[in-house]
Amino acid sequence: MELTELCFAGAARQARAVRSGEVTARELVAGHLDRIERLDPQLNAFRLVFAEQALAQAEAADERRARGEDLPLLGVPIAVKEDIAIEGLPTTKGTNAARTPEPADSAIVHRLRTAGAIIIGRTRMPELGLWPYTESGWAGPTRNPWSLTHSPGGSSGGSAAAVAAGLAAAAIGTDGAGSIRIPSAVTGLFGLKPQRGRVSLAPEREMWGGLVVAGPITRTVLDWALVADQIHGAVPGDPHVAHPPRTSFTEAATTDPGRLRIGVSLRPWGPGIGVADEVRDAVQDTAALLTDLGHDVVRLDPPMRDVVASTQFAVRYLHNAHLARQGMQSPDLVERRTRAVAELGRRLPRGLVRWATKDDDALTAYANRIFTSVDVLLTPALTRPPIRVGEWDGRNVVSALLAASHYTSFLQLWNVVGNPAAAVPAGRTSTGLPLAVQLVGRRHDECTLLSVSAQLERARPWADRTPSGLGHAK
């Protein structure tokens, strides 16, 4: 396999290549760094690239391999979103308002390094993670490798752009309202939001009042499983702890799911929200494929307490935007639109905030009642194809927030109640842009989602397609 092709091969294939001696870790990392140097000026996926450190770590990985050592991700270059702590750097969260260096790596970064991964760089996000696109006035837009006029989504847009363009084998994102699933969906990647408490956010106790979880964004289902197997688990002091998975994620990704009952819903969770025809077709095509694969697929449009769930999410979002801005070392340096969102949060009545931010066991039970009749829920990932760079620039902040909420209508509930949910590639638009569906699982059950997603991937492979104009196009 040529080096350029290997850059698009994903984490699992790259790990095997280093382990077998097909390529050295240094060659692999240098190949990715070369692509970053050539392509990232167009994409703007990275805030920082750790070129010297990554090459030095790759050479150390080669020495370890020569001594007979073996680690699951030895020599594999992985990118990390800029809201995840790295020792010696401020956790910038898409802003210039954070200045204090972190005293230690986050649990995620520590675990990646322990597994042998090379942290190749830090990826961009919108300021404080507020938007389903990755743009800022000071850093400019991050662009989608499939179309430079389109966004790679947000808030983990830099992570997805890096993986889709072959600039990293995998990347870590975070998801508070779809921020792993959105960018995965619009860049043709696999992104599974884990169960709340599956991956420790330490040194943070929690992010955005428990809405946010962290997890991989990858080319294949097996890549996700391999990386997630290395980073999952709680640490002392974590407020949320997921139940242990029934198998390793890698085993789940390589095991047939058996016959499942799968519910299909095309009903947006909010009034007056439309679903684009191409999105609807992608869901229906996936439902037909699942039927052909032997599953019992049924139409299921359960009421989801739209007003309760959407109000609770909106209040949490705005309140935490206010808290996040106040938590910056230089809060006055955040951008005007960020200040406007934070100000909306500051003005919320205290009683409303107390109601919205408490654990809502009743809503969690209500949402999960659907899993008494089905094993997995299939929905659109997004209500329309990818948005263009700057598409909502002319809107005032309330109008932009409403547009974002409609775009991500099918995603937000699962952050409120904590269930695992995956964005799975599902074809292309008429203009060649990626489409995706969402698969939602029972609480604590990423394994079923991985098995079904891998089955879909075998039936309609997606990882062999790469963006034209970015090397090794297909």
Q: Enumerate the active-site residues.
A: 81, 155, 179
Q: What is the DSSP letter of 150?
A: B
Q: Are strands 190-193 and 213-218 parallel, antiparallel or unpaired?
A: antiparallel
Cα–Cα distance for residue pair 174/80, rounded to 1 Å: 10
Cβ atoms of 143 and 43 closer than 8 Å = yes
| CA distance readout (Å), 260 to 441, 449, 452 | 12, 11, 9
8 A C-beta contact, residue 422 and residue 191: yes
- Strand, helix or coil at 60? helix
SS3 320: helix
DSSP string for 161-224: HHHHTTS-SEEEEEESSSTTHHHHHHHT-EEEEPPTTSB--TTSS-SGGGT-EEEEEESSHHHH
CA distances from 222 to 83, 126, 142, 168, 312 (A): 25, 28, 27, 16, 35
Which of 178-214 are b and which e, b meaning 16 or more Cβ less than 10 Å from the residue's Cβ? Answer: bbbbbbbbbbbbbbbbbbbbbbbbbebebbbbbbbbb
CB 80 within 8 A of CB 109: yes
Rounded-to-integer distance, Cα 302 and Cα 81, Å = 35
DSSP 96-132: S---PPBSS--HHHHHHHHTT-EEEEEE--SGGG-SS
Query: How long, in residues, is the chain?
Result: 474
Helix (H) / strand (E) containing 19: helix 11-20
Token digits of residue 239: 């407020």
